[in-house]
Amino acid sequence: MDARPVIADVQSPRRLLQSSTVYEGRVWDVVSDTFTLDDDGESLTRDYIQHPGAVAVLVMDSSDRILLIRQYRHPVRMALWEIPAGLLDVDGENFVRAASRELAEEADLTAGSWNVLVDLFLSPGSSSEALRIYLARDVAEVPLEQRHARTHEEAEIEFAWVELDEAVGAVLDGHMHSPSASAAVLAAAAARSSGYRTLRPADSPWPEHHSQHGSWPAGPVLQD
């Protein structure tokens, strides 16, 4: 009988032959890479979104309720129940600080206790976006005079404090569609049995984020 594989994703870069940016956007670019799976294999070309990565926060209050926010998302033409989240687009800002900033900007909250809840690639077949979701507790409100002025879609954000089990039901019933919120809710429900003691510290390594490792190590890259 074959040995059972270790269930752990691993880095597996392949030989990159060519890479070019085919579209430069306001937030992310589209890149076209040509590579081989092995030295003797045929070349393959894949286009994908080159994304800076993001962080998200599942906030839990002293009554073990979680905070959900509802925001309009134009590509799907829906108002979705989500959790506070944002891009890693500030140079030199560490991951926890970015999550804390997004929490303050989107929910007018601070948190005194942070843990890593779950790490994800949101759409690895079409995007390099890596997402880290934190569990934030010991929350307090940002003073009125220090609150961020939300604009555009963020100006319409609605808030709801809900029981974790209610949120789990919404995910399983198909009433919540945000991947970050769904993953966070289910991960928190799984971690609850240990009193959240099994969660990783907030400063745990995140080698999957592109800033933590080099690019393609094998073979020359032929630039356009």
By annotation, the residues acting in catalysis are: 154
Kind and range of the H or E element at 149?
A: none
Please state the φ and ψ torsions of residue 154, each to the nearest 5 degrees: -65, -25
DSSP secondary structure string for all residues of 4-70:
PPP--------EEEEEEEEEE-SS-EEEEEEEESSTTSPEEEEEEEE---EEEEEEB-TTSEEEEEE
Residues 167 and 181: their CA atoms lie apart, in Å, by 9
Residues 136 and 109: their CA atoms lie apart, in Å, by 10
Enumerate the β-bridge partners of residue 44: 35
CA 200 to chain centre: 16
Please state the φ and ψ torsions of residue 193, each to the nearest 5 degrees: -60, -25
